[in-house]
Amino acid sequence: EAGVVQSPRYKIIEKKQPVAFWCNPISGHNTLYWYLQNLGQGPELLIRYENEEAVDDSQLPKDRFSAERLKGVDSTLKIQPAELGDSAVYLCASSTGTPSTGELFFGEGSRLTVL
């Protein structure tokens, strides 16, 4: 079974430029998460999707960040314009969404460097 796939793995951009990250979750996982992870810190939730509906997006800086999950499968996270402080690893995770266990399966992340 394929895991969570993210691209690109690495991205270096100048500040004020736009950037987009793509995530394909594990097949059948209806819940998708975008997390941001700074060096030496734990992942911080940006947004969570239940199928195509965005829920729990209170931590998403909506002035510059946007996300979508059309058709309830893969998802994109966009930053426009990027700032120096956005340099981090952007992790995508998926789960079945059932509370019995419902552990998260993470992709390898997209490491963003803003110069």
Partner 1 sequence: GQNIDQPTEMTATEGAIVQINCTYQTSGFNGLFWYQQHAGEAPTFLSYNVLDGLEEKGRFSSFLSRSKGYSYLLLKELQMKDSASYLCAVRDQGRGGSYIPTFGRGTSLIVHP
Q: Does 28 bind partner 1 (CB under 8 A)?
A: no
Contact 56, 37 (CB under 8 A): no
Q: Does 104 bind partner 1 (CB under 8 A)?
A: yes
Residue in 9, 55, 61 with CA at minimum distance from that of residue 32: 55
Binding segment (CB under 8 A) for partner 1, from list 15-23, 64-72, 78-86, 94-102: 94-102
Identified binder of partner 1 from the candidate list 44, 61, 68, 113, rule CB under 8 A: 44
Q: State which amino acid sits at residue 85.
A: G
Question: Tokens in use for 84?
Answer: 């120096």
Assess whether the previous peptide bond of 8 is cis (omega < 30° from 0).
Answer: yes
Length of the chain counted residue by residue: 115
Identified binder of partner 1 from the candidate list 12, 55, 61, 68, rule CB under 8 A: 55
Going residue by residue from 74 to 93, which x/- string records binding to partner 1, judged by CB under 8 A? -----------------x--
Identified binder of partner 1 from the candidate list 2, 42, 63, 84, rule CB under 8 A: 42
Which single residue is written with the structure tokens 């829920």?
55
Distance, CA of 14 to CA of 51 (rounded, Å)? 33
User: Which residue's CB is nearer to partner 1, number 9 or number 15?
Assistant: 9
- Per CB under 8 A, residues contacting partner 1 are 4, 35, 40-45, 48, 50, 55-56, 91, 97, 99, 101-109
